[in-house]
Chains A and B, each alone.
Chain A
Amino acid sequence: MTDVGVKITDPDRVGGFSWERLKTNRNWLSFWFMLPAAGFLILFLAYPLGLGIWLSFTDTRIGRAGQWIGLENYIWLWDDSVFWLSVFNTLLYTIVASAIKFGVGLYLALLLNMHMRFKAVIRALVLIPFIVPTVLSAIAFWWIFDTQFSILTWMLQEIGAIAPDYQINWLGDATLARASVIFANIWRGIPFIAITLLAGLQTVSISLYEAAVIDGATRWQMFRHITYPLLTPIIAVVMTFSVLFTFTDFQLIWVLTRGGPFNTTHLMATLSYQRAILGGYLGEGAAIATAMIPFLLAAIMFSWFGLQRRKWQHGEGND
């Protein structure tokens, strides 16, 4: 045992691999340590990921084993206008919501980074939308967007923006429904972005700003050439997560509109649930879910490399 220990604690020798070492105790030891986590992740993550892709090439239904049908599900989806509508909706939802979440989230982070009274309390309150389960806050939004008794409509009536007897059909009109669900998503996502970016802001050394002030930099220049470049790595990570979870969102839509009116708020995730679980066509639903993977990879690549690249450029000119 001591022998193993000496090997482990010698960092220089850790890097050297050989087949002989595979059989030493260290690997077996770590095998036992890794086993529970690996077991869960292989059985309930890696295996279903593969199974999902396989199911998308079959005509499996609930309660009936399927047969291999090749690309038939995908060919069917290719001609399905509802599927394409859901792709469009998902992209619209992700791009609009993520852009606004980023803008407002960064702005809020900068505000929270200022010196002020009650700082701790304000920060704690900001995170509340993130703490409360999404479904439960979505239900509050459902009530806020109610057709007859919407408080928003009432407020607009009170300030005279709309006629006193005019009712706004928040979730019944295609454009308004899209705007409403996007708003709810932004509302839910801002705290996470603001608080993580705030953590990044707090690591920026104040002496950099002092130097900039002495050099006569304007506030915009300080933000543009100090804050933003130093923040890009954390922005890359935060936005990758944000885009990913916005793209695959299910809860908000399911509570607020269930994809309606006329599928105009159906996202790919909600459509796959509807087809696979409610409709029973597991194969087709799995094909929709699998079709999300290329988009997800593209989104990860874009936000990761797109933002990461600027990290290397920091200190250089405009981009």
Chain B
Amino acid sequence: MTEVTQPAGQSDFREGMDFLDTRGQRLVILWLPLGIIMLVLLFPFYWMVLTSIKPDSALIDLESTNPLWTWNPTLKHIRILLFETAYPTWLWNTMMVAISATVLSLIASVGAAYAIVRIRYRGSQWIGAAIFLAYLVPPSILFIPLAKIVTDFGLFDTPFALILTYPTILIPFSTWLLMGYFKTIPFELEECALIDGASRWQILTKIILPLSIPGLISAFIFCFTLCWNEFIYALTFISNASNKTVPVAIVTNFTDGDVYRWGSIMAGALVGSLPLVILYAFFVEHYVAAMTGAVKE
């Protein structure tokens, strides 16, 4: 226990006081544990990338060559994936569903968050709390009744089944996040606009929304990531291979037990992750703000 907690106190010095430690001490209390944790966290991705560029023969040969590296990378798996399977269709489906559901959710959330924070109607506090509770309802307990509802509405096996159900996961989160942003916008701006005769709609679109663009970006990329990530609804509501999303299609249409498939499976996982990783690389700060913002409220 002491070994774990010693660096704990140390960490709080931040700049200013860490000149008290020698280089050797810092190696043991910071770089060594951090290095081990980072190695474990990143190894699966290294392995994913490596597998997707290894030639087939190297995939199942752990003796004659070092499996942790390859000297003759190949793009064969990625080529097969993109040109000989329905992967581009799945990628397109995922993209369409994620963008549509995110846009719908943001429109709904902006309205709800604005009404709760600024119009402050009767019982708005309770609605705010109810939306937070909705955040805590997991999809795992909703997918069975939703499967019935989706079928009754005639949406089964269509993209609309996903576009209309994903917002239930996204709206609570993004409403909560946007409420936090709207609260930081000075009230006086709205008062001025009201005195000048602006309507609520004008205030929302011309004052509030332009000022909360960082919040909207955060909400957008986080919702988009959640959509891309979603599995249980997509697995339950979609049965035709041409309507599937990437995560579901890889699990159900790609894995046939053939060892030589592993290269393509890993390539599929890699290509499916890339859009999110690229998006993340450009918006790290917004992403972290989204993640911590909703928790801090």
| Residue in B13, B40, B48, B195 whose CB lies within 8 Å of A2 | B195
Q: Which of B9, B141, B194 contacts A290 (CB under 8 A)? A: B141
Contacts of B121 in A (CB 8 A): 26-27, 29-31
Interface centre among A30, A35, A55, A222 (most CB of B within 10 A): A30
A160 to B230, CA, bound (A): 40
If the complex has contacts A40-B168, A223-B12, are A49 and B292 also in contact, measured as CB distance less than 8 A? Answer: no
Partner of B148, one of A55, A196, A290: A55
- B residues within 8 A CB of A22? 122
Known: A26-B121, A276-B144. A45 touches B111 (CB 8 A): no
Please state if B119 and A8 are interface contacts (CB–CB under 8 Å): yes
**CA of A222 to CA of B200 in the docked complex: distance in angstroms?**
50
The interface centre, meaning the residue of B38, B68, B138, B139 with most chain A CB atoms within 10 A of its CB, is B138
Task: Decide yes or no: A250 and B288 within 8 Å by CB, A36-B108, A45-B134, A125-B38 being known contacts.
Answer: no
Interface contact B14-A219, CB-CB below 8 Å: no
Q: Flag the segment in B80-88, B209-217, B259-267 that touches A.
A: B259-267
- Tell me whether A111 and B33 are in contact (CB under 8 A): yes
Question: Contact residue range for chain A?
Answer: 35 or more
Contact string against B for A residues 44-57, beta-carbon threshold 8 Å, 1 for contact and 0 otherwise: 11111101100100
Which residue of chain A has its CB nearest to the CB of B119? A30
Docked Cα-Cα span, A8 to B119, in Å, equals: 6
Task: Give complex CA distance A241, B137 in Å.
Answer: 11
Q: Is A107 touching B140 in the complex (CB atoms < 8 A)?
A: no
Which residues of A lie under 8 Å from residue B200 when comparing CB positions? 29, 33
Q: A285–B60 Cα gap in the complex (Å)?
A: 40
A121-143 contacts to B, CB under 8 A, are 122-129, 131-137, 139-141, 143
On whether the beta carbons of A9 and B42 are closer than 8 Å, the reply is no
CB distance from A213 to the nearest CB of B (A): 8
**Given A2-B194, A122-B34 in contact, is the A220-B142 Cβ separation under 8 Å?**
no
* Complex contacts, B116 vs chain A, CB 8 Å: 34
Among B38, B107, B246, B276, which residue has its beta carbon within 8 angstroms of that of A122?
B38
Question: Binding site of A, secondary structure by majority: helix, strand, loop or mixed?
Answer: helix
Pick the residue among B42, B60, B137, B248 that contacts A45 (CB under 8 A). B137
B8 touches A40 (CB 8 A): no
A56 to chain B, nearest CB (A): 9
A244 in contact (CB, < 8 A): yes
* Smallest CB separation, A278 vs chain B (Å): 10
The reply to whether B194 and A143 contact each other, CB–CB distance below 8 Å, is no
- Where the two chains meet, the residues of A that have a C-beta atom closer than 8 Å to any C-beta of B are 1-2, 5-6, 8-9, 14, 17, 21-22, 26-27, 29-41, 44-49, 51-52, 55, 60, 103-104, 107-108, 110-116, 120, 122-129, 131-137, 139-141, 143-144, 148-149, 151, 154, 187, 190-192, 195-196, 199-201, 204, 206, 209, 213, 218-223, 226-227, 234, 237-238, 240-241, 244-245, 247-251, 254-255, 269, 272-273, 276-277, 282, 285-286, 289-290, 292-293, 296, 300
Give me the 5 closest cross-chain CB pairs, A-B, nearest first: A219-B9, A5-B194, A37-B112, A135-B247, A36-B108
Q: Which residues of B contact A (CB under 8 A)?
A: 2, 4-18, 30, 33-34, 37-38, 40-42, 44-45, 47-48, 51, 59-60, 62, 67-68, 104-105, 107-109, 111-112, 114-116, 118-122, 124, 127, 131, 134, 136-149, 164-165, 167-168, 171-172, 175, 187, 190-191, 194-195, 197, 199-200, 225, 228-229, 231-232, 235-236, 246-248, 250-251, 259, 262, 265-266, 268-270, 272-273, 276-277, 280-281, 284, 287-288, 291-292, 295-296
A-B contact pairs, 25 of them (CB 8 A): A17-B122, A21-B122, A26-B119, A36-B104, A36-B107, A37-B171, A39-B108, A41-B131, A107-B33, A115-B18, A126-B41, A128-B277, A128-B280, A135-B250, A140-B269, A149-B262, A154-B67, A196-B295, A201-B11, A206-B14, A223-B9, A250-B231, A251-B247, A273-B235, A276-B147
Given A44-B164, A240-B136, 17 more contacts at CB 8 Å?
A: A30-B124, A36-B107, A44-B146, A48-B149, A115-B13, A131-B276, A133-B231, A139-B250, A151-B67, A199-B295, A206-B13, A219-B8, A220-B6, A223-B12, A227-B12, A249-B140, A273-B143
